[in-house]
Chains A and B, each alone.
Chain A
Amino acid sequence: MDWTWFHKWGSPKWFYELSGKWLPWLVGAMFTFLLIGVTWALLFVPEDYQQGLTNRIFYVHVPVASISLAFFPLMAMSGTVFLVWRMKLADVVVKVAAPLGAWFTALALASGSIWGVDTWGTWWVWDGRLTSLLLQFFLLLGVVSLRTALEDSEGAARACALLSIVGCINVVVIKYSVDWWNTLHQTSSNFTLAADQANGPEIWLPLIFMIVAVYLFFAISLILSTRNEILQREKRAQWVMDLVAKS
């Protein structure tokens, strides 16, 4: 098997150059999906017969909350690659993903709270889903502070990789919390393409636009921070010096 792709991906220089070419396209696609999704969600989605127009919050809360669950698996995969193959770029991903994941989780919690205050009649309950998501927020802050707390950068990288792998257990808890504990948060709606499902395309099509937009945003923000971290770590490399001289 040809492993050159693996070594290429491990090369910060190669990543920096390739991602620079991708970014304009990703940003263009993100704004297109975001504009269509937000306009559709705010102006055209029909009013819910129980929730009224608070159903607009669904189109921010669901994409952000579901993508917030991708952070620990992503950091665990990158952490494993770093621990096993010593790939520096994988550790960069673990480092920059943690604060972004904390942002995602915080927005998922806040938007859910503001949605719940009128539909559930409460800002907060110690429900399984809410509590496990709050735990994810603190675990992500833990990964961020673990990095700054440890003096030895190699040791910090290893500790963060390990905590990321352990943190995946909580993702499973978050995912199945609504099925295990029947407290307050509802279970996931079934999204099938069948015609007889409860929610029609006028409900779920704008959601798909928002999910794609938020996924693209997630990728773009992660790539931008990865590039910054690469520049700082590789500041003694000739290619960074050339790049700085050119700009």
Chain B
Amino acid sequence: MQFSNFQEFIEMGGYAFNVWSVYGMFLIFLTVNLYGPLRKNRQIIRNLKRRYALNAQIPSRSASADTQRPTGSETTEEESA
């Protein structure tokens, strides 16, 4: 252990600004790039749920709802949840 008390640890031998701002940015960097995609995943699933429900109500929408390249199955009839 390089420090004898908490005060010394915070002061970082006079380099408190340098050390703590770098570790602070590191923490922000980790949080943004882990929590961000996790939150986006929940958002995507919520949006898709709404979209599938809407498509099930109006079957004609499913063909024209999106102009992106069609991949996979086009059938949405069984989706109601």
Contacts and interface: CB of A to CB of B under 8 A. Distances in A.
Given A43-B9, A240-B72, A244-B48, A228 B15 contact: no
Given A114-B21, A220-B34, A228-B44, A53 B12 contact: yes
Contacts of A65: none
Residues of B in contact with A, size category: 35 or more
Interface string A204-247: 00000000000001001100110110011111111111011101
A60 B26 contact: yes
B30 A236 contact: no
Contacts, number: 124
Interface in A67-104: 100, 103
Given A100-B33, A224-B38, A240-B72, A117 B2 contact: no
Nearest to A54: B15
Given A43-B3, A53-B13, A107-B29, A236 B72 contact: yes
Interface residues of A, number: 49
B58 interface: no
A45 interface: yes
A121 interface: no
16 contacts: A43-B3, A43-B9, A52-B13, A53-B12, A60-B22, A103-B29, A114-B18, A114-B22, A153-B69, A154-B69, A221-B37, A227-B41, A231-B41, A235-B66, A238-B75, A244-B48
